Amino acid sequence: MASHLDQPSIGPENPPPQLECPMQPTAEQSDHGIAYHPSHKRNACTTCRRMKSKCDMEKPTCGACSKYNRACTYEATRKKSGPKRGYTAVLGSRLAQVEALLSTQMLGIAGNQPPSATFLDEWVDGAAGTNMSDTGSHPNSTAETESSSSSATDGTYPGPAVAMDMISLGNRIYFEDVHIYMQIIHHQRHLAALNNAAHAQPPICLQYMIWCHAALVSEKYNPLHPAFYERARKYAEADEMKGYGAGILSLSHAQTWLLITAYEYKMMFFPRAWLSCGKASRLAIMLGLHQLDSPNPQAKQCFMPSTDWVEKEERRRVFWMTFCIDKFATIGTGWPVGVDEAEVMTNLPASEEAFITGQSEPTACLSDILKGEGLATLSPSASVGFVSCIFGRITNHLRLPHSQNDDSYSTGGFWQRHRSCDEILLNFALSMPNHLRLPNGMGDPNIIFCNIALQTAVICLHQAAIYRAEWNSISEFPIVESKLRCSAAAQQILEIIKMVGPINMSKVNPFVSFCVYVAARVYIQHLKLHPDDTEAHSAFQFFRSVINTLKATNPLAESFLFQLDVDSEGRSFEGLRLPTNNFPISMLSPSNL
């Protein structure tokens, strides 16, 4: 001990030379069992350590605290670092559980058999463990130790962690089969973020919804999607209830609620989907995603500015997908939209290639596209946003109350709005750039959906015009013209689907089933007047078979299949899972817009 006490004391009176290393115990001291006392180490004052500023460690008051007139105190002992007591034992037991799981389930996973019920429970119950273990549900949250412990006590989500190869498989299925029509997540950045520190990983609710959509389109893992969905909603709602709810102010949570909304519409959870759509719309507006390119944003900013073009483009894509789902939701119910077109000051999204590579490219705003300007810059995903805007205008046009001057075909408000929407549709169909036309864009599901949805908008607009003209006993000319436009549009949809193929239609936007239903309904109305028209009957049966094919990966199509049988006064109801506790199916009919 004498050798240790002979060392010069370290303090304000005798500071060590600047180039000397901190004193460490020597080998001789270690051999004699002499412990090294960390109390002799120089420590910064608590104020400087808290503010992460440089401290000269003068006593009783350091230079920084003296300069800024702050309270200066020194801790007698340093806080212990490292894991908490018992952490190593818990980690060892969890690793043993993972090894036991892998040894028992590896053969079942490697085979081609569908996942068993045991494997379903193990994957779902432990999916948060491997790449997101002990993490919060969003980057700003604390570690998930409290959540894990509470889950273990109440028995809600027990089970070991999921293997990393299964996590990678779920992500791969999503980005191959779902991302192609919902391009709202940057693939490389998302996968890289999964390897970040716990506080910087994407929220776990987003990861569950990615797996949910992947399982829904996978024949082998299809039984997993309900459990993934329930888990995602649980975590998303838990984030909303933490503190004052500020934890949900992130792009990842906006993406989560978009995926939740899309899933709920596909599964025909219509009331829940409508509320989730509203939550996604409000969250996008709260984050200011509708004014990303505004020179003078009017709304309060609850979001940090984007760091680069790719991040800003990802925010654009999240907003426009929110815009699209909002408009397609209202076209099926006739209820008001959640995002007002007049307040949109965010440019349309760029091409997928530019988004992936990070090469910035100019994009036009919606108002310019509506005027026919900048169409050459329109990307496939932007074209879907434009068509959804047209659907929104048609919905607003049909929702306005009937007035006395609507009876006049030349000056009535209804007919003026009708001609305005029709003019936009005609101009866009004539001046559409070549890269958005078929068959040039056969490989892009968004281009396919854009062309089909464009013709669907024509049918919705002109079927409403036929109904209004017959109601007001207007001359035969507008009725005949609108019927011809509807027939031509339905024929165009028929040719597009035959060109693409019914099987490939499953990779297109889920709302394509609504478009196919609207086209089939044109032939139903035609067959009521001409029941012997074999060509129209063949077209109707073709559309019905397409919807029947779509329902395998898109249960929403089943509701339209049922409605087709009702409209055609058929009796083909066997084997159909009819929607229960949902909106009346008749609300999805264009005649009720």
Confidence of residue 183 (pLDDT cuts 50, 70, 90): very high
Of 155 and 267, the one with more pLDDT: 267
Average pLDDT of the chain?
80
What single letter denotes the amino acid at residue 99? E
| Chain centre to alpha carbon of residue 581 | 25
Confidence of residue 294 (pLDDT cuts 50, 70, 90): confident
Confidence of residue 265 (pLDDT cuts 50, 70, 90): very high
Nearby residues of 192 by Cβ (< 8 Å), 6 or more positions away: none
Of 488 and 398, the one with more pLDDT: 488
Residue 191 lies in a domain: yes
Lowest-confidence range among 233-247, 319-333, 567-581?
567-581
- Alpha-carbon span 477 to 390, nearest angstrom: 25
Residue 468 lies in a domain: no
Residue 281 lies in a domain: yes
Give how many domains the chain has, as a whole number.
Answer: 1
8 Å CB contact between 465 and 484 = no
- Alpha-carbon span 501 to 549, nearest angstrom: 11
Q: Which two tokens stand for residue 526?
A: 């035609």
Return the DSSP state at 198: G
Lowest-confidence range among 89-103, 128-142, 295-309?
128-142
pLDDT tens digits along 83-120: 677 777 777 777 777 777 776 655 444 444 455 555 55
- pLDDT value of residue 565: 87
- Tell me which residue has tokens 């006593």: 59
- Alpha-carbon span 276 to 289, nearest angstrom: 17
Q: Which two tokens stand for residue 144?
A: 């998930």
CA-based nearest residue to 332, from 264, 265, 262: 265
What single letter denotes the amino acid at residue 285? I
The residue segments making up the domain with residue 246 are: 160-287
Helices 476-500 and 512-529 sit at what angle, rounded to 10 degrees?
130
8 Å CB contact between 550 and 513 = yes
- Alpha-carbon span 288 to 303, nearest angstrom: 7
Residue 234 lies in a domain: yes
- pLDDT value of residue 470: 87
The backbone torsions φ and ψ at residue 515, rounded to the nearest 5 degrees and listed phi first, read -65, -45
Considering the chain, what percentage of its residues have pLDDT values greater than 90? 50
DSSP annotation string for 469-484: HHHTT--HHHHHHHHH
CA-based nearest residue to 128, from 161, 150, 82, 80: 161
Residue 229 lies in a domain: yes
Confidence of residue 121 (pLDDT cuts 50, 70, 90): low
Averaged pLDDT, 582-593: 38
User: Does residue 223 have a cis bond before it (omega within 30 degrees)?
Assistant: no
Of 210 and 40, the one with more pLDDT: 210
Does the pLDDT value for residue 37 go beyond 90?
A: no
- Burial of residue 349 (number of CB atoms within 10 Å: 0-12, 13-18, 19+): buried
Of 383 and 15, the one with more pLDDT: 383
Q: Is the pTM of this model over 0.85?
A: no
Does the pLDDT value for residue 150 go beyond 90?
A: no
What's the angle, vertex CA 257, arms to CA 355 and CA 378, rounded to 5?
30
Q: How far is CA 574 from CA 501, 565, 570, in A?
A: 26, 11, 11
What single letter denotes the amino acid at residue 367? S
Q: How far is CA 191 from CA 166, 168, 202, in A?
A: 14, 9, 9
Residue 312 lies in a domain: no
Longest dimension (CA), the chain: 115
Residue 268 lies in a domain: yes
Averaged pLDDT, 185-211: 92
Does the pLDDT value for residue 467 go beyond 80?
A: yes
Lowest-confidence range among 46-60, 98-112, 297-311, 317-331?
98-112
- Tell me which residue has tokens 């906006």: 254
Averaged pLDDT, 210-225: 92
Nearby residues of 55 by Cβ (< 8 Å), 6 or more positions away: 44, 45, 48, 49, 62, 63, 64
Highest mean pLDDT among 103-112, 225-234, 289-298: 225-234
Does the pLDDT value for residue 147 go beyond 70?
A: no
- Alpha-carbon span 537 to 382, nearest angstrom: 35
Residue 13 lies in a domain: no
Q: Which two tokens stand for residue 438?
A: 């078929």
8 Å CB contact between 206 and 251 = no
- Tell me which residue has tokens 């240790």: 4
- Alpha-carbon span 125 to 97, nearest angstrom: 13
Q: Which two tokens stand for residue 151?
A: 């889950």
- Alpha-carbon span 215 to 127, nearest angstrom: 13
Averaged pLDDT, 512-533: 93
8 Å CB contact between 151 and 157 = yes
Terminal C-alpha separation, the chain:
91
Q: CA neighbours within 13 Å on the CB side: how many for 362?
A: 5
Of 83 and 198, the one with more pLDDT: 198
- Alpha-carbon span 230 to 462, nearest angstrom: 41
Neighbours of 241 (CB within 10 A): 10
- Alpha-carbon span 306 to 304, nearest angstrom: 6
Does the pLDDT value for residue 273 go beyond 60?
A: yes
pLDDT tens digits along 529-577: 899 999 999 999 999 999 999 988 889 999 999 999 888 875 343 333 3
Does the pLDDT value for residue 419 go beyond 50?
A: yes
